[in-house]
Amino acid sequence: MEEKGKSTVFDCHIIQLSRIENATGNVTSVSSYQDIPFDIKRVYYLYDIPGGESRGGHAHKRLEQLITAASGSFNVVLDDGKNKKNINLNLPNYGLFIRPGIWRELVNFSSGAAVIAIASTIYDEDDYIRDYQEFIRYKI
């Protein structure tokens, strides 16, 4: 088991997913252990995001996640307390794998952007760190 506070932004990476091309529209699928290194327990979407808004602004203690741009584009700013990484997501067949213990903010949403988030746990508010100073203490 990974030590909870030790993950860095360099442990988070882009995963290329399948893209099955079809004249009537393309298909991308995500399967546990084939495409992502965890069991899928929950999928949620972010949509109807007003211009100028940001989402996220928290870290998770246990949850692992893949974030994709189902449509449109946005940026994910990852922060491990020491290093930051800014990643643009704009293709539905590429996802960003985020380890536990990483502060993330989703910013710069294009109009009509939709986010699919695939998570390793069901929703659990106790898994969230929503205060940045608490996050920094957690990482020490």
Catalytic (active site) residue 60: no
List the Cα angle 73/78/81 in 5-degree steps: 165
Q: Give the nearest distance from C-beta 123 to ligand TYD in angstroms.
A: 4
- Backbone phi and psi for residue 135, each to the nearest 5 degrees, phi listed first: -60, -45
Q: Does 63 engage in binding with ligand TYD (CB under 6 A)? A: no
Mapping DSSP onto H, E and C, the string for 86-126 reads EEEECCCCEEEEECCCCEEEEECCCCCCEEEEEECCCCCHH
Which is the catalytic residue, given 41, 55, 58, 62? 58
Position among 10, 44, 45, 47 found at the interface with ligand TYD (CB under 6 A):
44
**Nearest distance from C-beta of residue 106 to ligand TYD, angstroms:** 7
Please identify which residue in 13, 84, 123, 124 interacts with ligand TYD, judged by CB under 6 A.
123
Please identify which residue in 17, 56, 95, 113 interacts with ligand TYD, judged by CB under 6 A: 56
Assess 89 for contact with ligand TYD (CB under 6 A): no
**Which residue number, 19 or 75, has a Cβ lying nearer to ligand TYD?**
75
Would you say 84 and 135 are in contact if contact means Cβ atoms under 8 Å apart? no
> Do residues 15 and 93 make contact, with C-beta atoms less than 8 angstroms apart?
no
Q: Which residues are catalytic?
A: 58
Contacting positions for ligand TYD (CB under 6 A): 42, 44, 46, 55-56, 58, 123
